[in-house]
């Protein structure tokens, strides 16, 4: 557990460092454009976007080097930031992911039941301070197999496709996840900083 806590603290520290470095680089580019508003807009909309896309491609390419180890953890304990009611609402508004998620996973009756499955993982999620909801799939067997493997939905085929989410410690994609950590932090920082500069540009402060 201490190791996991350490990892989280290290991540926060690393994000600060990445943020400062990305900030300096982007600020430098903007300064070099000498208040040329169209140039700055083009830099933020086109150049930064191109860079983000390149980084995303690296993440996807690296993922192809790994395959599911069939530990069953993501079937027995799926996490969502949305409650069942919120997912149903989203699904009724046409959100495909929400529709697939809620038709695949069933909410745990209570947190304790989820905790019994993966206590350390849940403890860590709690410590991260984010409010999340716990779900499971009724199709996973005792020996962690999918009882309807050929017909499993896209969300199962694509998992894990979100590099920001915290993976189960038993997931065979952990190495992929770790290897893209810095790229993920860079994308996050670029996206946040770009929003900041866009607002500054709108206000006429650049
Ligand atoms: S459908 Fe199969 S792969 Fe998908 S969560 Fe359920 S058991 Fe797992
Ligand atoms: S947690 Fe990872 S290794 Fe385990 S079943 Fe899910 S995708 Fe496969």
For residues 155 and 101, is the Cβ–Cβ distance under 8 A? yes
The pLDDT, as a whole number, for residue 198 is 97
Model pTM?
0.76
Residues with CB under 6 A from ligand 2: 68-74, 159, 168, 171-173
Assigned token pair, 175: 């190495």
Instruction: State the burial class of residue 180 (Cβ atoms within 10 Å of its Cβ: 0-12, 13-18, 19+).
Output: buried
Q: Ligand 1 center to residue 23 CA distance, Å? A: 41
Predicted pLDDT of residue 37: 93
As a whole number of angstroms, the distance between CA 138 and CA 123 comes to: 23
Report the pLDDT value the prediction gives residue 123, as an integer from 0 to 100: 80
Name the residue of 166, 172, 175 whose CB sits within 8 Å of the most ligand 2 atoms, as the mutation to test its pocket: 172
Position in ligand 1 atom list of the atom nearest CA 140? 7
Identify the pLDDT of residue 76.
94
- Per-residue pLDDT, averaged over 149-155, amounts to 93
Strand ranges across the sheet with 78-80? 78-80, 133-137, 105-107
If pLDDT is split at 50, 70 and 90, which confidence band does 121 have?
confident
pLDDT (tens digit per residue) in 130-149:
788 999 999 999 999 999 99
**Euclidean distance between CA atoms 26 and 189, whole angstroms:** 11
What is the predicted pLDDT for the residue at 4?
59
Ligand 1 atom having least distance to the Cα of 138: 6
Among 63, 67, 70, name the best residue to mutate to test ligand 2's pocket (greatest count of ligand atoms within 8 A of Cβ): 70
């Amino acid at each position: 557990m201490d190791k996991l806590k350490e990892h989280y603290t290290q991540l926060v520290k690393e994000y600060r460092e990445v943020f400062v470095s990305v900030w300096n680089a982007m600020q430098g580019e903007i300064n070099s454009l000498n208040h040329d508003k169209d140039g700055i807009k083009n830099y933020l909309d086109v150049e930064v976007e191109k860079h983000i896309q390149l980084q995303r491609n690296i993440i996807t390419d690296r993922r192809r080097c790994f395959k599911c180890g069939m530990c069953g953890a993501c079937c027995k304990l799926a996490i969502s930031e949305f409650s069942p009611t919120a997912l149903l609402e989203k699904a009724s508004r046409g959100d495909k992911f929400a529709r697939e998620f809620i038709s695949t996973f069933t909410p745990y009756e209570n947190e304790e039941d989820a905790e019994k499955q993966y206590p350390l993982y849940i403890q860590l999620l709690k410590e991260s301070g984010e409010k999340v909801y716990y779900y499971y799939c009724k199709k996973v067997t005792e020996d962690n197999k999918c009882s309807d493997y050929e017909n499993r939905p896209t969300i199962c085929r694509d998992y894990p496709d979100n590099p920001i989410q915290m993976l189960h410690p038993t997931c065979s994609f952990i190495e992929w996840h770790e290897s893209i950590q810095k790229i993920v932090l860079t994308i996050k920082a670029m996206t946040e900083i770009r929003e900041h500069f866009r607002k500054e540009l709108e206000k006429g402060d650049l």
